[in-house]
């Protein structure tokens, strides 16, 4: 949208090409961040302990945010700093795009709200057709409701966490300015470094849990 509006404004002489070029640069930076994630993580769903380099991706995300702070503070290059932030968003957003069948996006939630609305609407219609009595649902309908409920267990808390993060981010930006980016940078670096350090132990633990489940069945 920003690219289209920028090009339209440039075409009508309302703004210089710099603004349109900046929008294009942000888009390409986001795309490159997602591309880098594809090089590091080979699956579009969470798979801890495998070959996916989640730790490296998180550390890379932290370094990009740190670079954005340094570019803004030391070099006074706001455009390149914004490109680094966009690249970090693309990298983070592509780390997990599906969980329990739900489409996951961690840097924007317009699609998440759409999914929550459509899922709850489908579940409501199934119950309304059966007089709001679960006992009347057949096996297929029960399965559909179960799948949708699992999706809501992912999307609902994710939206709430996103909302909480935006509130905290707004207050931090007001008081700290660009240095507010150091908090998510520190968090992602800590998690990424810890995952990389303890990845073999995590892999063995997950393997034991899976073996225990198989033995029970």
* pTM score, whole prediction: 0.79
Per-residue pLDDT of the chain (217 residues; tens, 9 = 90+): 666 666 677 666 666 667 778 888 999 999 999 999 888 887 766 666 666 688 899 999 999 999 999 999 998 999 999 999 999 999 988 887 765 566 777 888 888 889 899 999 999 998 898 888 888 888 888 899 898 998 899 889 989 999 999 999 999 999 999 999 999 999 999 999 998 888 878 777 777 777 777 776 6
Q: Which two tokens stand for residue 84?
A: 């680094």
pLDDT of residue 193: 92
pLDDT of residue 130: 84
């Amino acid at each position: 949208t920003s690219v289209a509006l920028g090009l339209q404004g440039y075409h009508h002489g309302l703004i210089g090409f710099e603004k349109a070029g900046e929008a294009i640069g942000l888009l390409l930076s986001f795309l490159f961040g997602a591309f880098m994630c594809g090089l590091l993580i080979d699956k579009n769903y969470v798979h801890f302990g495998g070959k996916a380099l989640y730790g490296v991706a998180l550390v890379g995300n932290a370094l990009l945010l740190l670079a954005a702070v340094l570019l803004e503070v030391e070099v006074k290059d706001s455009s390149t700093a914004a490109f680094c932030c966009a690249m970090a968003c693309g990298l983070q957003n592509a780390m997990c795009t599906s969980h329990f069948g739900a489409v996951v996006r961690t840097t924007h939630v317009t699609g998440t709200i759409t999914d929550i609305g459509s899922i709850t609407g489908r579940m409501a219609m199934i119950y309304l057709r059966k007089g709001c009595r679960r006992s009347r649902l057949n096996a297929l309908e029960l399965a559909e409701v179960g799948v949708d409920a699992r999706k809501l267990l992912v999307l609902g808390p994710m939206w709430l966490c996103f909302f909480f993060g935006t509130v905290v981010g707004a207050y931090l930006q007001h008081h700290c300015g660009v240095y507010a980016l150091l908090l998510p940078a520190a968090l992602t670096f800590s998690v990424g470094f810890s995952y990389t350090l303890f990845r073999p132990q995590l892999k063995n633990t997950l393997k034991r849990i899976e073996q225990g489940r198989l033995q029970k069945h």
